[in-house]
Structure 1
């Protein structure tokens, strides 16, 4: 009888101890986080760029032509969206940017029967709305880009004692290429080249015809973008063991 009681007491004690140990293990086990998803370029981003602009601009009209090779600073902001196709390295996106500029062309002087002809052109700001197509190599994204461009240009022409000017927003196109590198899941850096053509503007010279200025330039710039994480943070998984 005593022996049976001891056996029963031992069995109950073993059950209680096992349950207590299970409770302690469950309470003290840290949360296990799922591995973060593989890096993806998908998402919206905002950023800033800075660099230089340069190019060959021309002045032409009834008295002949002049040319200039201006150079200046360009810098501003940008915003865009990338979409990386599932199980693919192809990245398709769109980007818009706005840049302040110090680009100025001085064409020199040209002797004409109506007097000395001089001229200058200035680009105060420019922007674009472009498509982007890239090929992802993990956190490295080489890409090509192109689309619509616009800019505020001002032209000043002097012919003898008379001065003439024209200015305003002109539109055209832009195209280029670059490479972007993901420093973290959210911060990316890029280097980019763009060629922009804003077309030709005419400045009337009274009764002496018109001088035409062609605004086209190259831009080389670097930038930093903040990408809003499309995949979100890793989700915790509480251990049941």
Structure 2
């Protein structure tokens, strides 16, 4: 009986030792944690290209002054055209979704309009064309990951060529004019380096004197050309 009890005790000890050894061989491995998706960051320099369409009108304020007598009015001609160019800029993202930046662009253009009529017995035809224009603007936006919604505004400049022909005699002028611009747009990050944008801008390039003509000794005819237009464009940027 003693032998049986001792045998049972030894067997129990050996069995418990085997279980402990097996338990010691088991290791704990935590469940893998999924990597957080990479958040798009707008900070950095970028360069790109763009193209679009422009529409609006040229306005021609005119006045006739003769001593104490004078009259004034305004002629208007619809205009349209296209443009294409390049841009460069820098964005800074902070706090954590706001984005501020600056952008400069320049584009060749074919925005033009023509008008003809008769004023005080003088037959005329006039026309204006924007051959190129550019802007330097600030941008303020809000980022929803890789989607940026923004407003923009600043300085505008461009080359405006205008001409007028009155009763067979003509004059023309071509000047670089300066003004302002404002608009809004959105930009979408296709990859971490390539973005696609769509933007609306209103551009006002101010006024130039097209005609300042004395008629006789006391009469003067003056006509200006005002240049402003709306643009809608799409562009691609490469962000460094």
TM-score by length of structure 2 reads 0.77
1: CA distance, partners of 2:174 / 2:121: 24
Matched, 1:210 2:222: yes
Q: 1:47, CA displacement in angstroms?
A: 0.2
- Give, in whole Å, the separation in 1 of the partners of 2:226 and 2:208: 7
Match in the other structure for 1:239: none
Residue 111 of structure 1 corresponds to 118
Is 1:166 aligned to 2:173, yes or no?
A: yes
- Which residue does 1:101 correspond to in 2? 109
Partner SS for 1:39? coil
Q: Are 1:149 and 2:161 counterparts?
A: no
Structure 2: gaps of 5 or more residues: 1-34, 65-72, 215-219
Alignment of 1:66-145 (within 5 A): 66-85=75-94, 87-107=95-115, 109-145=116-152
Aligned partners of 1:187 and 1:127: how far apart in 2?
A: 23
Higher strand proportion, which one?
A: 2
| Unaligned 5+ runs, structure 1 | 1-33, 229-241
CA RMSD in angstroms, aligned pairs only:
1.6
Aligned position for 1:5: none
CA distance in 2, matches of 1:116, 1:138: 60
Q: Measure the CA separation in 2 of the matches of 1:76 and 1:114.
A: 44
Say if 2:185 is the partner of 1:185: no
Instruction: Tell me how many residue pairs correspond in the alignment.
Output: 193
Deviations 1:143-181 (A, max 9, x none): 000000000001101111210112210000000000000
Shift of 1:88: 1.0
Give, in angstroms, the shift of residue 118 of structure 1: 1.4
1:223 aligns with 2:224: no
